[in-house]
Chain A
Amino acid sequence: MSEIALEARNLYKVFGKNPNTAVRRLKAGESRAAVADAGTAAVIDASFTVNRGEIFVIMGLSGSGKSTIIRMLNGLHDVTDGTVTVNGDPITGIPSSKLRDIRRDRISMVFQHFALLPHRSVAANVAYPLELKGVPKAERLAKAEEILSLVGLEGQGEKLPSELSGGMQQRVGIARALAADSDILLMDEAFSALDPLIRREMQEQLLELQQKLQKTIVFITHDLNEAMFLGDRIAVMRDGRIVQIGTPEDILMDPANDYVEQFVQDVDRARVLTAANVMERPRPVVPHTAGPRTALRQMRDAYMSATYVVGRDRQLVGVVTDRDAVKLVRNGATTLDSIIKPVLQSVREDDVLMNLFVPAVESPVPLAVTDADGRLVGVIPRVTLLAALGPGPGSTEEITLPLMPMPQAEIDAVLDDGWTADPADAPTTEEVR
């Protein structure tokens, strides 16, 4: 089996009088508005592949053609031009009986408004795809019960859909799609009709389920935060065209055009960007084997008051401060061992920024970032963390260092001079009196 579960190549969908003429003119380079007399172009030249086991999110505002695209993936809408292949088999231009077989066995769908059958019980709704497959009643109801417990609805099978809350109804919708036992799941704005708290919960549950089941999911949404949270890859659509396809980080850090950039302005970056996206090269880093003089020199050159110490393979060992190192040098010690303190706060590469704020506040030095094996891969100073929350791709590159205070001795010298007096015993106050 190939890695590609679903492929759409040069999809066009035009509603209206002369769809084929419209497609020909669009291909010749005319704009969507210019061909409006021949028909409404809902999808224009959309190509993408969905890999097995990934969540592919198609995101766009209403009217951008995302719902039309997802309906072309299972043939609910005929394509006007282009091809869709499922596991290498084309589903465009095949007889409707064959298309029905593919829908029954390979692709299932979850709908925005749940689309449950109101006159059937929850269990019968979940068993519906199995009923269409011709599974005997006892068997399909047993399977339905099993899947209901998978989505957290055990014991609710006898109820009618109308007796459940919105979130629970959509769980039934998901359970129904899972009951079909297909590899590919199409989710059309599946959580858009739910209120925000429930939506968040459902998103998390979907990711949990996905970890267990490893389906191939195509998820439609107009909510960029949802897209960023769920998507392994995201396709951003505008006016029927796909304007960018990439990972959430790609889209956030490197928007393809002004439209995407505007769009991602509103994203909660703290929930999308990870430590790895914003971290800087750790500097200075002292090897465990180095002596206090080396450490001190490096700290001085980097204007830092402390430095991380790494062992072999860049394993993070601890942190030393310049004060301790100065003492060691005075004492004539040759190893750092006695002054290495454990690193109290370190974060993993894939932690989202949201989870970095508290550690960053509590850490006296720039926050250490480690990989899965505990190797130091970067550091995040607090300024970097703040800058990463702002819009624009360049915001994490240049950092203005906070203004350094003047050396204390210099200030003291000025104060001791006759120019101004210490306010505590200033003669001016006596004169006034």
Chain B
Amino acid sequence: MDGFRIPIGSWIESGVDWIKQNLDGLLDVISFVVTFLVDGLTSLLLLPYFFVVIAIAALIAWLVRSWQLAIGTIISFTLIVAMGLWVPAMQTLALVLVAAVIAVLIAVPLGIWSARNATVRAVLKPVLDFMQTMPAFVYLIPAIVFFSIGVVPGLVATVIFALPPGVRLTELGIRGVDSETVEAGQAFGAKPGQILRGIQLPLAMPTILAGINQVIMLALSMAVIAGMAGADGLGKMVVEAISTVNIAKGVEAGLGVVLIAVFLDRVTAALGTLGQNPASLLAVIRRRGAQRQASAASASAPSTQAPVEEKELQNA
């Protein structure tokens, strides 16, 4: 066995070097855009008084789910403030949101493409497996080479790591749409684009949103690793706590990640079942509107339409 060695690592390294030398312009552009987005969002989240952000977050929670979640949001965000973690928490939130948006923008079209094309599916499957099982730290090394220390390599690693479930669940959702329903679209002469927009995407939406939820959760779990690459936020605090064996700091930072995770998970999960949450503010507003309409209708023509319409909306 002596002397038998395939230098895969060195090959990749020289590939990375080549990219670094020849695609420097592109890397700079990526770096600039990402930094701009994350910094912009961070300063936006930190700009007003913190309770404005808390109020907005609570309102979103109420809008899509229930007032209980809104209260939970207020409590957990206040706890973050109380632990003195507001600034790093918002930095992490900004990083996660930007990473998730980028991952979704890449994952959903890829998922659609692989649902419609067997070759793409065959190629993509091992690539996704690779991306998901490769230890996430490994992505950091070339990312740091490309973008140097800071928020950008952390974000790039996060996007790569969080991408696969988005692609997989989008593909699964679209391929899971009842084939007879798709045939119905074809039988009435719909173009492929019309079938995608009018039938496949709407029917696959719950699965796609579950995928997006997974993307966000994975992105958050990468926040700590992003901290290793020098991105500011809760991750960086965790890394610092490890290197100084500071239990208090570590637990607090970890708790901050958990609280943000719970908020993001509940809100995005509720997005997937939007309209089926009777306690959500959206449903309440729509019910009110329907009732007003119904009472106006029954004023002109007395009928028992109101309960029917109400039931309809709950099922909508």
Residues of A participating in the B interface, judged by any CB pair closer than 8 Å? 71, 74, 76, 100-105, 107-109, 111-113, 115-119, 128-129, 132-133, 158-160, 162-163, 176, 180, 186
Taking a contact as CB atoms closer than 8 A, the residue among B189, B194, B202 that contacts A101 in the complex is B189
**Cβ contact within 8 Å between B183 and A111:** yes
CB-defined contacts of A101 to chain B, threshold 8 Å: 189
- Determine whether B191 belongs to the interface, using a CB cutoff of 8 Å to chain A: yes
Hey, what's the 0/1 contact readout for B167-205 against A, CB within 8 Å counting as 1? 000000000001011011011111100100011001100
28 CB contacts below 8 A, A to B, read A74-B187, A76-B186, A100-B189, A100-B190, A101-B189, A103-B187, A103-B188, A104-B188, A104-B189, A107-B187, A109-B183, A109-B184, A109-B188, A111-B180, A111-B183, A115-B184, A117-B184, A117-B198, A117-B203, A118-B203, A119-B202, A119-B203, A132-B190, A133-B189, A160-B315, A160-B316, A163-B312, A186-B187
Closest 10 CB pairs of A and B: A104-B189, A115-B184, A103-B189, A109-B187, A115-B180, A100-B189, A129-B188, A115-B181, A119-B202, A111-B180
CB-defined contacts of B312 to chain A, threshold 8 Å: 158-160, 163
Query: Which residue, of A101, A115, A163, A176, has the highest number of chain B Cβ atoms within 10 A?
Result: A115
CB-defined contacts of A162 to chain B, threshold 8 Å: 315
Q: Which of B186-239 contact A (CB under 8 A)?
A: 186-191, 194, 198-199, 202-203
Q: How far is the CB of B312 from chain A (nearest CB, A)?
A: 6
**Within the assembled complex, what's the spacing in Å between the Cα atoms of A87 and B178?**
31
Closest-by-CB residue of A relative to B311 is A163
CB-defined contacts of B315 to chain A, threshold 8 Å: 160, 162-163
Q: Which of B4-61 contact A (CB under 8 A)?
A: none
**Cβ contact within 8 Å between B189 and A115:** no
Hey, what's the 0/1 contact readout for B240-271 against A, CB within 8 Å counting as 1? 00000000000000000000000000000000
CB-defined contacts of A129 to chain B, threshold 8 Å: 188-189
**Cβ contact within 8 Å between B316 and A108:** no
Closest-by-CB residue of A relative to B190 is A132
CB-defined contacts of B189 to chain A, threshold 8 Å: 100-105, 129, 132-133
**Within the assembled complex, what's the spacing in Å between the Cα atoms of A337 and B183?**
69
**Within the assembled complex, what's the spacing in Å between the Cα atoms of A180 and B187?**
11
- Tell me the interface secondary structure of chain A in the complex: mixed
Q: How far is the CB of A124 from chain B (nearest CB, A)?
A: 10
**Cβ contact within 8 Å between A117 and B199:** yes
**Cβ contact within 8 Å between A132 and B194:** yes
CB-defined contacts of B202 to chain A, threshold 8 Å: 117, 119
**Within the assembled complex, what's the spacing in Å between the Cα atoms of A180 and B188?**
8
Q: Which of B260-316 contact A (CB under 8 A)?
A: 309, 311-312, 315-316
**Cβ contact within 8 Å between A111 and B191:** no
Hey, what's the 0/1 contact readout for B60-104 against A, CB within 8 Å counting as 1? 000000000000000000000000000000000000000000000
**Within the assembled complex, what's the spacing in Å between the Cα atoms of A321 and B21?**
117
CB-defined contacts of A76 to chain B, threshold 8 Å: 183, 186-187
Taking a contact as CB atoms closer than 8 A, the residue among B178, B186, B194, B311 that contacts A103 in the complex is B186
CB-defined contacts of A163 to chain B, threshold 8 Å: 311-312, 315
Q: How far is the CB of B181 from chain A (nearest CB, A)?
A: 5
CB-defined contacts of A180 to chain B, threshold 8 Å: 188
Beyond contacts A103-B188, A103-B189, A105-B189: 5 other A-B pairs, Cβ-Cβ < 8 A, are A74-B187, A76-B183, A109-B183, A109-B184, A119-B203
**Within the assembled complex, what's the spacing in Å between the Cα atoms of A113 and B182?**
12
Q: How far is the CB of B191 from chain A (nearest CB, A)?
A: 7
Q: How far is the CB of A89 from chain B (nearest CB, A)?
A: 15
CB-defined contacts of B186 to chain A, threshold 8 Å: 76, 103
**Within the assembled complex, what's the spacing in Å between the Cα atoms of A172 and B69?**
40
Closest-by-CB residue of A relative to B315 is A160
**Within the assembled complex, what's the spacing in Å between the Cα atoms of A177 and B188?**
8
Q: Given A76-B186, A158-B312, answer yes or no on A100-B191 (Cβ-Cβ < 8 Å).
A: yes
**Within the assembled complex, what's the spacing in Å between the Cα atoms of A108 and B185?**
10
Query: Which residue, of B186, B194, B202, has the highest number of chain A Cβ atoms within 10 A?
Result: B186
**Within the assembled complex, what's the spacing in Å between the Cα atoms of A102 and B315?**
36
Query: Which residue, of A119, A158, A180, has the highest number of chain B Cβ atoms within 10 A?
Result: A119
CB-defined contacts of A133 to chain B, threshold 8 Å: 189
**Within the assembled complex, what's the spacing in Å between the Cα atoms of A128 and B309?**
22
Taking a contact as CB atoms closer than 8 A, the residue among A108, A119, A159 that contacts B187 in the complex is A108
Taking a contact as CB atoms closer than 8 A, the residue among A71, A111, A159 that contacts B184 in the complex is A111
Q: How far is the CB of B296 from chain A (nearest CB, A)?
A: 16
Query: Which residue, of B178, B180, B184, has the highest number of chain A Cβ atoms within 10 A?
Result: B184
Q: How far is the CB of A260 from chain B (nearest CB, A)?
A: 30
CB-defined contacts of A132 to chain B, threshold 8 Å: 188-190, 194
Q: How far is the CB of A427 from chain B (nearest CB, A)?
A: 86
**Within the assembled complex, what's the spacing in Å between the Cα atoms of A425 and B183?**
87
**Within the assembled complex, what's the spacing in Å between the Cα atoms of A132 and B190?**
6
Q: How far is the CB of B53 from chain A (nearest CB, A)?
A: 34
Q: How far is the CB of A391 from chain B (nearest CB, A)?
A: 37
CB-defined contacts of B180 to chain A, threshold 8 Å: 111-113, 115
**Within the assembled complex, what's the spacing in Å between the Cα atoms of A176 and B187?**
11
CB-defined contacts of B188 to chain A, threshold 8 Å: 103-104, 108-109, 128-129, 132, 176, 180
CB-defined contacts of A105 to chain B, threshold 8 Å: 189
**Within the assembled complex, what's the spacing in Å between the Cα atoms of A158 and B305?**
11
**Within the assembled complex, what's the spacing in Å between the Cα atoms of A159 and B315?**
9
Q: How far is the CB of A166 from chain B (nearest CB, A)?
A: 14
Q: How far is the CB of B186 from chain A (nearest CB, A)?
A: 6
Closest-by-CB residue of A relative to B181 is A115
Q: How far is the CB of A80 from chain B (nearest CB, A)?
A: 19
Closest-by-CB residue of B relative to A75 is B186
Q: Given A159-B312, A162-B315, answer yes or no on A115-B191 (Cβ-Cβ < 8 Å).
A: no
**Within the assembled complex, what's the spacing in Å between the Cα atoms of A117 and B181?**
7
Q: Which of B86-130 contact A (CB under 8 A)?
A: none
**Within the assembled complex, what's the spacing in Å between the Cα atoms of A151 and B286?**
31
Q: How far is the CB of B93 from chain A (nearest CB, A)?
A: 32
Q: How far is the CB of B283 from chain A (nearest CB, A)?
A: 15
**Within the assembled complex, what's the spacing in Å between the Cα atoms of A159 and B187?**
24
**Within the assembled complex, what's the spacing in Å between the Cα atoms of A160 and B312?**
7
Q: How far is the CB of B200 from chain A (nearest CB, A)?
A: 11
CB-defined contacts of B309 to chain A, threshold 8 Å: 158
**Cβ contact within 8 Å between B183 and A115:** yes
Q: How far is the CB of A172 from chain B (nearest CB, A)?
A: 12
**Within the assembled complex, what's the spacing in Å between the Cα atoms of A163 and B316?**
10
**Within the assembled complex, what's the spacing in Å between the Cα atoms of A217 and B81?**
70
CB-defined contacts of B203 to chain A, threshold 8 Å: 117-119
